[in-house]
Amino acid sequence: MVINTNLSAQGSATLLMQSSTKLSQSLARLSSGSKITSPADDSAGLAVSMKLNAQMSRIDGASNNVGNAISFSQTQDGYVSKVNDAFSRMSELAVLAQDVTKTTGDRALYQQEFKALGSYVDNVATKDFNGVSLFNGATLNVTTDSEANTFGMVGIDLSNTTYSTATKDDITSLSGASTALTDVKAAINQLASDRANIGSNIESLTYYNDQLNSLKNNLSAANSRITDVDVAQESTNYAKYNILVQSGTAMLAQANSLPQSVLKLLG
């Protein structure tokens, strides 16, 4: 039995320190909700998690881009729907103006409405969305994923000659009305094709948006498996380490009292 070196106390102190460290670590995990509270906990897992978080942030950006592009296309469709109504009425007016029982004055009245509708179509061609032209015919490349790949959104040009010719026709004469009808029918056919392109754009962008949402959910689940703490398991660990700290503290106190028994031999 020795006094200078208390091996029992040293061993107990080492074990108590280890248990205290584990207890502190378990408490940090439970309070933060993450099982990686420092790089030392899982350096490889932390590196993977950082890359997954960065990719999810890029996906959020791409999702916003796609959502805005869908809104852009829906705005286009709203205008095109009304342009279709205008052209439909213009075609009706062109037929009415070919009525042989109508006078030149009657056709002049039809022409007033025909011109007003044509002006409406010409005005729609100048509309924009947040400063970006809706109908200049330019193809817009929309970012659709975290790696900045793009989808070419087909442009619509309401100022092309098919439309402008129809909007500038004159139906004050029988021949003019006949020509106007031909031009307006051509414009309606072109508009049908353009609206189909808008619908195709919306459909494709919606698929891209759904894909991004699904990918983000999957990446989030993968990241959760790496970083999120299992509360049930960690609560069990916390209880275990708490008991070890308490018992270690008691044992250290006992180990520190052992040298005192040596004094009895000296007495």
Q: What is the pLDDT of residues 212-225, one digit of tens each?
A: 999 999 999 998 88
- Decide the pairing of beta strands 132-133 and 150-153: unpaired
Q: 48 falls in which pLDDT band (50, 70, 90)?
A: very high
Give, in degrees to the nearest 5, the angle at Cα 93 between 91 and 96: 115
| Cα separation values, 214 from 85, 206, 225, 258, Å | 39, 12, 17, 65
Burial of 87 from C-beta contacts in 10 A (0-12 / 13-18 / 19+)? buried
pTM: 0.79
Single-letter code of the amino acid located at 74: Q
Lowest-pLDDT range of 30-34, 63-67, 151-155, 181-185:
30-34
* Angstrom distance (rounded) from CA 55 to CA 24: 32
Mean pLDDT, rounded, for 77-83:
97
Token pair belonging to 194: 């353009």
| 45 backbone dihedrals φ, ψ, rounded to 5° | -60, -40
Mean pLDDT, rounded, for 157-165:
95
Mean pLDDT, rounded, for 46-71:
94
